[in-house]
Amino acid sequence: MLKSCVINLKHILYRLFSGMGMSLVPGLAFAEYGLNFQRPVTAIAHELLWLHNAILIICVAILVIVFSFMFYAIIMHRKGRGHQAAKFHDNTTLEIVWTVIPFVILVVMAVPSTATLLKMDDTSNPDMTVQIVGYQWKWKYEYPEQDLSFFSALTTPREQIENQADKGENYLLEVDNPMVLPVGKKIRFVLTANDVLHAWWVPQLGVKKDAIPGYINEMWTQIDEPGTYRGQCAELCGKDHGFMPIVVEAVSEEEFAKWASVQKAKMVAAETRAAKTWSRDELMERGEQIYKQACVACHGATGAGIPGVFPAITGSKISTGPVAAHLDIVLNGKAGTAMQAFKGQLNDADLAAVVTYERNALGNKKGDLVQPAEVKALR
């Protein structure tokens, strides 16, 4: 601990000093210094940075001016210097002045704020729409025009989180399937959530909005330059709230079209694969993958769950009872709990595999197999 403190002190001083110099020139790239907003890449994010810098400067100026009076008094009007107390305790003119001036400053601040807000609110005439659905603890992205739909979840390995391996450059900010978007297009986001509140936030794009079950929220963005932009869920959503990042890859229009067709082909291939009859080993292998991706967050790597919060899989009534009930809870979830309906998230084969896995691993030995066809019949 001590060693890392000392090393970090160097970074800290460097950051502070270089950052102070930079902050005198609002609008420059601050990202490297971590003292101000990340570098904006949309017109709105630029405006937000400008607005933030402007109100920050006004606030700092107010603070300095007002408290220079206080510090002057503290130095000059002290008993130790023999200063005699004056007797005044009222001045109506002064009271009016210092009520009116702040009011005027507020009006000045409100004008550009209102203008920016109106711009952010205008989701009309988009070139394209992407639907965002928050899940505990991953995001689902749907592209209705491209007929695509996929989940996006954290890929940072557990060993890094548990300090058994060195942390990578994008620690906690990396996902399996990023949201890919074309640059220069007005993109409308439609947000909702499947279970609890989440909030989708990518600082460099200047967008943040809550994803709320039963609500459909809208916002928009138009990205100026290609690149990878990272963000995080910004509304407490339970245990792994800190572990559901967002990655947006902005690419040219051609690359976007190419990506969309490759993605589509992958989806079709997965569906045909799902239709066949699977062997026991295939089911168990696939099931383990799916368990680690979709179930482990709550039910734990060993299937023990967290007593009182998330039930165990090992030896549980459901995973050692009839297959139908087991499939039912995995497909349809359990209302009022964190157990979600997975039928919209996983295909028949993945569902069959993970149920087979839960019945024959994690300390369970039911011995039965579940085939994709059985899942299909229950949908």
Partner 1 sequence: MATAAAHHEEHPGGLTRWLFTTNHKDIGTLYLWFAFIMFFVGGAMAMVIRAELFQPGMQMVEPHFFNQMTTVHALVMIFGGVMPAFVGLANWQIPMMIGAPDMALPRMNNWSFWLLPPAATLLIMSLFMPGGGPAAGWTIYPPLSTQGGMGMDFAILTIHMLGFSSILGSMNIIATILNMRAPGMTLMKMPLFVWTWLITAFLLLAAIPVLAGAVTMLLTDRHFGTSFFDAAGGGDPVMFQHVFWFFGHPEVYILVLPAFGVFSQIIPTFARKPLFGYSSMVFATATIAFLSFIVWAHHMYTVGMPMAGELFFMYSTMLIAVPTGVKVFNWIATMWRGSMTFETPMLYAIAGVFLFTIGGLSGLMLAITPADFQYHDTYFVVAHFHYVIFAGSVLALMGAAYFWLPKWTGHMYNERLGKLHFWLTTISFNVTFFPQHFLGLAGMPRRIPDYALQFTEFNQISSIGAFVLGLSQLLFLYIVVQTIKGGKQATDRVWEGAEGLEWTVPSPAPYHTFATAPQVK
Selected from 191, 237, 351, 362, the binder of Cu ion by CB under 5 A is 237
Could you tell me which of 220, 149, 210 has the C-alpha nearest to residue 189?
A: 220
Q: Considering only residues 316-335, where is the footprint of partner 1 by CB under 8 A?
A: 335
Binding flag, residue 233, Cu ion (CB under 5 A): yes
Binding flag, residue 15, partner 1 (CB under 8 A): yes
Count residues near Cu ion (CB under 5 A): 4
Question: Look-up: residue for tokens 């899989």?
Answer: 313
Interface stretch with Cu ion, choices 26-34, 58-66, 166-174, 196-204 (CB under 5 A)? 196-204
Shortest distance, CB of residue 36 to partner 1, whole angstroms?
5
Query: With 0-12 CB in 10 A as exposed, 13-18 as middle and 19+ as buried, what is 223?
Result: buried
Q: Considering only residues 179-238, where is the footprint of partner 1 by CB under 8 A?
A: 195-197, 199, 201, 203, 206-210, 212-215, 217-218, 230-238
Could you tell me which of 138, 62, 155, 165 has the C-alpha nearest to residue 344?
A: 138
Selected from 2, 70, 268, 324, the binder of partner 1 by CB under 8 A is 70
3-state DSSP assignment of residue 36: coil
Residue 70 touches which member of partner 1, Cu ion, none, C-beta under 5-8 Å by kind: partner 1
Contact (Cβ atoms closer than 8 angstroms) between residue 51 and residue 45: no
Could you tell me which of 264, 255, 267 has the C-alpha nearest to residue 185?
A: 255
Q: Which is nearer to partner 1, 102 or 315 (CB)?
A: 102
Residue 163 touches which member of Cu ion, partner 1, none, C-beta under 5-8 Å by kind: partner 1
Binding flag, residue 132, Cu ion (CB under 5 A): no
Amino acid identity, position 180? V
Q: Which is nearer to partner 1, 116 or 263 (CB)?
A: 116
Torsion angle, alpha carbons of 19, 34, 55, 91, to 10 = -70
Q: Which is nearer to partner 1, 211 or 349 (CB)?
A: 211
What's the rounded Cα separation, in Å, for the pair 56 and 66?
A: 15
Binding mask 16-35 for partner 1 (x = CB under 8 A): ---------------x--xx
Residue 55 touches which member of partner 1, Cu ion, none, C-beta under 5-8 Å by kind: partner 1
What's the rounded Cα separation, in Å, for the pair 346 and 181?
A: 24
Torsion angle, alpha carbons of 189, 192, 197, 198, to 10 = -30
Q: Which is nearer to Cu ion, 15 or 241 (CB)?
A: 241
Contact (Cβ atoms closer than 8 angstroms) between residue 230 and residue 202: yes
What strands, in cross-sheet order, belong to the sheet with 128-135?
A: 148-152, 138-143, 128-135, 187-193, 217-221
Q: Considering only residues 245-304, where is the footprint of partner 1 by CB under 8 A?
A: none
Distance of CA 358 to the CA centre of its chain: 30
Question: Look-up: residue for tokens 């734990």?
Answer: 300
Tokens (6 digits) for 309? 């919060």
Selected from 109, 284, 296, 312, the binder of partner 1 by CB under 8 A is 109
Q: Which is nearer to Cu ion, 233 or 361 (CB)?
A: 233
Shortest distance, CB of residue 238 to Cu ion, whole angstroms?
7
Binding flag, residue 2, partner 1 (CB under 8 A): no
Residue 378 touches which member of partner 1, Cu ion, none, C-beta under 5-8 Å by kind: none
Could you tell me which of 290, 188, 205, 184 has the C-alpha nearest to residue 247?
A: 205
Phi-psi region of 312 (alpha: psi -120 to 50; beta: other; left: phi over 0): beta
Selected from 41, 42, 48, 178, the binder of partner 1 by CB under 8 A is 48
Contact (Cβ atoms closer than 8 angstroms) between residue 167 and residue 160: yes
Binding flag, residue 171, partner 1 (CB under 8 A): yes
Selected from 25, 162, 317, 324, the binder of partner 1 by CB under 8 A is 162
Q: Which is nearer to Cu ion, 132 or 233 (CB)?
A: 233
Binding flag, residue 89, partner 1 (CB under 8 A): yes
Count residues near partner 1 (CB under 8 A): 106
Contact residues toward Cu ion (CB under 5 A) are 198, 233, 237, 241
